[in-house]
Chains A and B, each alone.
Chain A
Amino acid sequence: MRARVIVTLRRGVLDPAGQAVGNSLRHLGFGEVGDVRLGKVIDLELGSISRAEAEKKVNEMGQKLLANPVIEDFSLELTDEGGTRTT
């Protein structure tokens, strides 16, 4: 089982790096770009555990370490050996 954890800054938290990327995109002519937010992707190899167990454990990892709830939210995607992906 593999997990991908996506950590993003919470809404309302100023993201100056995201703003800089947005400005550059608009400067390049992508005028349709509005708000840009940067985040982190954390890929985890979990060995042969069940999907339910993986979901439970990775949620726990997100709460304990991978995201700081004061400033960040996280979501996760699980991929099993067969390649089936769920969010």
Chain B
Amino acid sequence: MKVAVVTFPGSNCDEDAAYVAESLLGASTTRVWHKDASLPDGTDLVILPGGFSYGDALRSGALARFSPVMGAVRSFAERGGLVLGICNGFQILLEAGLLPGAMLQNASQKFVCKRVRLRGHDTGSPFMRGLAGRVLEMPVAHHEGRYHASDEVLDRLFEERRVAFTYEGANPNGAARDIAGVLSEKKNVLGLMPHPERAVEAVLGGEDGLGMFLAAKSFLEAR
């Protein structure tokens, strides 16, 4: 299994993502700078990590989407490659149009940094095997996490089983229909606001985030 973790100027969860890939999944892991115009040969999974790319100038993710590496990420995703966007990575995928919708400032106007509960949905995505119906606990840490899309798009996302996670109980940011994570049409691109990479070992307070990484790994190994 080959994982590429992209670092944008202002990414700050890239180390954590690479740690999960390398130390916990045992994947051959390459750090990719956003100015690289290509991904390493044989890449199976691309992770766009959390952080504040370009200082969130203009809108979260708005400038990162034009980084040279995003052309390669787009064609990788179009070929069916697995892409995981966490927090700012999710915002970048939205701005790039690889996932539908947009992010707005939290309804509370506050930066929210706490553990939340999420419900996994039955989607048929490689990231979600074994997670359907489960309630998972993971941290969120964001100021722009209020997912927004038109009612039409929201209806379609649920119909097409592309809502991967919804907030369970309290919705920390006012996201439309409690949406915490969405999938692309082919279900190979997942974006979510919570941080699974920060919930992968008991010492971090929980292991609920590990499931989607292991699901992706077993999907790739079974191919």
Q: Which residues of A are at the interface with B, using a C-beta cutoff of 8 A? A: 9, 13-14, 16-17, 20, 40, 65-66, 68, 70-71
- Among residues of A, the one whose C-beta sits closest to the C-beta of B110 is A16
B104 and A20 contacting across the interface, CB-CB below 8 Å: no
A68 and B107 contacting across the interface, CB-CB below 8 Å: no
Give every chain A residue within 8 A of B104 (Cβ-Cβ). Answer: 9, 13-14, 71
- Among residues of A, the one whose C-beta sits closest to the C-beta of B59 is A68
> CB < 8 Å: which of B58, B66, B101, B109 contacts A20?
B109
| Complex: A14 Cα to B102 Cα, angstroms | 13
- B 139-164 to A, binary, CB cutoff 8 A, 1 in contact else 0: 00000001011100000000000000
B174 and A14 contacting across the interface, CB-CB below 8 Å: yes
Instruction: Given contacts A16-B109, A17-B105, A71-B102, list 15 more A-B pairs with CB under 8 A.
Output: A9-B104, A13-B104, A13-B148, A16-B105, A16-B107, A16-B174, A17-B109, A40-B58, A65-B62, A65-B66, A68-B102, A70-B101, A70-B149, A70-B150, A71-B104
Contact residues of B between 112 and 157, Cβ < 8 Å to A: 146, 148-150
Cβ-based interface call for B197 (8 A)? no
- Among residues of A, the one whose C-beta sits closest to the C-beta of B151 is A12
Give every chain A residue within 8 A of B14 (Cβ-Cβ). Answer: none
Q: Is the interface of A mostly helix, strand, loop or mixed?
A: mixed
* Nearest 3 CB-CB pairings of A with B: A70-B102, A71-B102, A16-B109
A71 and B148 contacting across the interface, CB-CB below 8 Å: yes
B148 and A16 contacting across the interface, CB-CB below 8 Å: no
A65 and B58 contacting across the interface, CB-CB below 8 Å: yes
Q: A65-B58, A65-B62, A66-B58 are in contact. Are A14 and B101 (CB under 8 A)?
A: no
| Complex: A16 Cα to B105 Cα, angstroms | 8
Name 27 A/B residue pairs within 8 A (Cβ), A-sorted: A9-B104, A13-B148, A14-B104, A14-B146, A14-B174, A16-B105, A16-B107, A16-B108, A16-B109, A16-B174, A17-B105, A17-B109, A20-B109, A40-B58, A65-B58, A65-B62, A65-B66, A68-B59, A68-B62, A68-B95, A68-B102, A70-B94, A70-B101, A70-B102, A70-B149, A71-B104, A71-B148
Give every chain A residue within 8 A of B62 (Cβ-Cβ). Answer: 65, 68
| Complex: A17 Cα to B102 Cα, angstroms | 17
**Closest CB of chain A to B127's CB: distance in Å?**
24
**Closest CB of chain A to B148's CB: distance in Å?**
6
| Complex: A70 Cα to B95 Cα, angstroms | 10
